[in-house]
Chain A
Amino acid sequence: MDKIVENIVFIKSLDLFKDAFPERIDQILKNKEEGKKIVGTLCLYVPDELIYACGVDRVILCGGRSAPIEAAEQYLPRNLCPLIKSSFGSVIDQKCSKTKSCPHFGLVDLIIAEATCDGKKKMYELLNQYIPIHVMDLPQKPENQNALEYYIKELESLKCVLENLTGNKITDAKLRNEIKSANETRKLLHELYELRKRDSPPIRGTEMLKVLQQMHFLSPDGFRKNLVLLLDELKVKKRENSGPRIMISGCPMASGNMKVPEIIENRGGLIVVEESCTGTRAFWDLVDENKELMRALAERYLKIPCACMYPNDRRIDQILRLAGDFNVDGVVYYTLQFCHGYNVEKYRVAEALKKSGIPLLSIESDYSGADTEQIKTRVDAFLEMLE
């Protein structure tokens, strides 16, 4: 017995994101036929701006579906983050590649990966047998004196890799252009999130998540275009959403992974903000357009508060700030099973929230449906506690 009835005021432009898949795949196929190179990415630390400035198209490869996991487990341990297994599975699963529903296999010329968590790094070694990979290194202590310089160097090599792949040059003019347009998108998202601060936000968390899951799947232009339409619609349509105001904080929810947010909202909660890579981490900071380009890019991307980093106080500060700004009643700390970074970091986040008197519910889950009923019980109890 779910407690929420569908909102009666229909937001047409949400369908632009929902139905984007086939059209976008066609677009990528067409780009490829015309000689454009396609890269795949799996993390926010890889700047889109460089990729697009080089005339390359990109598609996100983060897996949120459970289907490819079985195939992946022939190669990867069971006790591994489902996002890693799902991503790997959808690349290697032959069944998958024959259908048009899987954009990964055969489409991507190069994967631009990143040295974040151990599971991903090791998975990349295996993936490399199927697709060429460039792994960007990341400074693990972004606060360190040399971290920025080091990251700039890594961006410089990425620039070379992309230029070699395509034969195109990344000129300052092109890069500046891409930075500008990426900032535009970020500003639009900020504008949208402003609306979510209202007492009755015009958009629910599950709707917003489906939008953000498309952010690195669609082309930047396509995404921004849809976003403008969505914003226009949300600004004028009267829509009432209510319920205890929830922040989700933790692991990314890649496309296909909707279990927990759906339970939260079907049981009567209202997600008003998500501190995650499919949430604020994807767009919060802007690139400073007045600085030297590569340095400005590096500064912006190093600010992403990922749990792979040490120390990561920035994330805790951000959670507290968001909780206040969005007038949050409670936080659901969401982690994927075997994601040590976010699972361990939970303790410090919990401490900080406790000090601020903000209730926390922690949910660790995978992509299966086995724990749905248990999660419902916890979510119900949590929402009842907040009421």
Chain B
Amino acid sequence: MISIGIDSGAATTKAVVLCENKITGYAIIPTGFDFRKAGEAAYQEVLSKSGMDETGIGKILATGYGRSSIGFADKTISEITAHARGVCYLIPAAHTIIDIGGQDSKVISMENGKVVDFLMNDRCAAGTGKFLEYTAKALEISLDELGTLAQLSKNPAKISSMCTVFAESEVVSLRAQQVKKEDIAAGLIESIIQRTIVMVKKLGIKPDVAFVGGVAKNPGIVKTLEKVLDIKIKLPEEPQITGALGAALLA
């Protein structure tokens, strides 16, 4: 049986093909303006990557922020349920998931792939990938560089603004005070992590802890998170596709 999961996120759209419970291909593309178009494009791409056409495709399940725009899906499911299922498949011992995506961040606690509790950040961009993206821009570096650079810091700057827009101006004023670039970078990462930690602590942490979402691809952030939580974090090989994978598994 072949099933497909599509995770229609605010920043990226992900698709996974599952054949006899094995991943045969995945695609990650930028969402752009139109959720529906991105969903279709990801679907076509993942089919060609797995060397398939539409024949023999069983169920298609959509998840993510734009899930209801994916008209060709048979069903939709929330990304929280999907992530839990996907992570459980890849990391069976996981009980806690930290997911920092472009639009929101969440912490999920689960048993055997079933969600038992979860928390999600409030509506604004504080504590999400967007926060890092914007503030990295204020440092004139890319998101990847931010993580690498931060590891050089011995004295992380204190960023007190949670708000993305305010933090951006805070970065500018730190630059004006000639604070080292790596210290500002480290400060930004600590700030977003603090935000996540509050949620993790509220929910209670039970190992193994899996870290997923686009931000998990940043080694600097993973290191800081491990340091602050004092725990070894499990990373899926491709942390961005756990939602789509979960959807495919649940299809």
Contacts and interface: CB of A to CB of B under 8 A. Distances in A.
B122 A384 contact: no
Contacts of B96: none
B78 A381 contact: yes
Contacts of B123: 370-371, 374
Contact of A373 (B65, B77, B81, B116): B65
A364 B124 CA distance: 13
B76 A1 contact: yes
Given A370-B123, A374-B120, A385 B114 contact: yes
Given A1-B68, A377-B65, A384 B77 contact: yes
Contacts of A359: 116-117
A385 B115 contact: yes
A378 interface: yes
Interface in B78-120: 78-81, 104, 114-118, 120
B164 to A, nearest CB: 16
Interface string B175-212: 00000000000000000000000000000000000000
Contact of B80 (A1, A364, A373, A381): A381
Contacts of B65: 373, 377
A364 B81 CA distance: 21
Contact of A384 (B68, B78, B117): B78
B128 to A, nearest CB: 12
Contacts of B116: 359, 385
Interface in A362-384: 364, 370-371, 373-374, 377-378, 380-381, 384
A365 to B, nearest CB: 9
A359 B115 CA distance: 11
Contacts of B117: 359, 385
A1 B122 CA distance: 23
A381 B115 contact: yes
A196 B103 CA distance: 38
A359 B116 CA distance: 8
Contacts of B115: 381, 384-385
A367 to B, nearest CB: 14
A378 B120 contact: yes
Contacts of B78: 377-378, 380-381, 384
A228 B87 CA distance: 53
A373 B68 CA distance: 10
Contacts of A374: 104, 120, 123
A380 B79 CA distance: 9
Given A374-B123, A378-B120, A384 B79 contact: no
Contacts of B68: 1
A380 B76 CA distance: 10
A371 B122 CA distance: 9
Interface in A194-226: none
A377 B120 contact: yes
Contacts of A380: 76-78, 80-81
A380 B80 CA distance: 9
A384 B247 CA distance: 13
A380 B63 CA distance: 11
Given A370-B123, A371-B123, A374-B123, A381 B118 contact: yes
A374 B117 CA distance: 17
Interface in B116-139: 116-118, 120, 122-123
A264 to B, nearest CB: 14
A119 to B, nearest CB: 20
A385 B81 contact: yes
Nearest to B75: A1
Contacts of B122: 364
B104 to A, nearest CB: 7
A333 to B, nearest CB: 13
A120 B79 CA distance: 39
Nearest to A364: B122
A381 B83 CA distance: 11
A1 B65 CA distance: 12
Nearest to B69: A1
Contacts of A371: 123
Contacts of B118: 381, 385
10 smallest beta-carbon distances between A and B, as pairs: A381-B80, A380-B78, A381-B78, A384-B81, A1-B68, A371-B123, A385-B115, A377-B78, A374-B123, A381-B81
Interface of B: 65, 68, 76-81, 104, 114-118, 120, 122-123
Given A377-B65, A380-B78, A385-B116, 16 more contacts: A1-B76, A359-B117, A371-B123, A374-B104, A374-B120, A377-B78, A377-B80, A378-B80, A380-B80, A380-B81, A381-B78, A381-B80, A384-B80, A385-B80, A385-B81, A385-B117
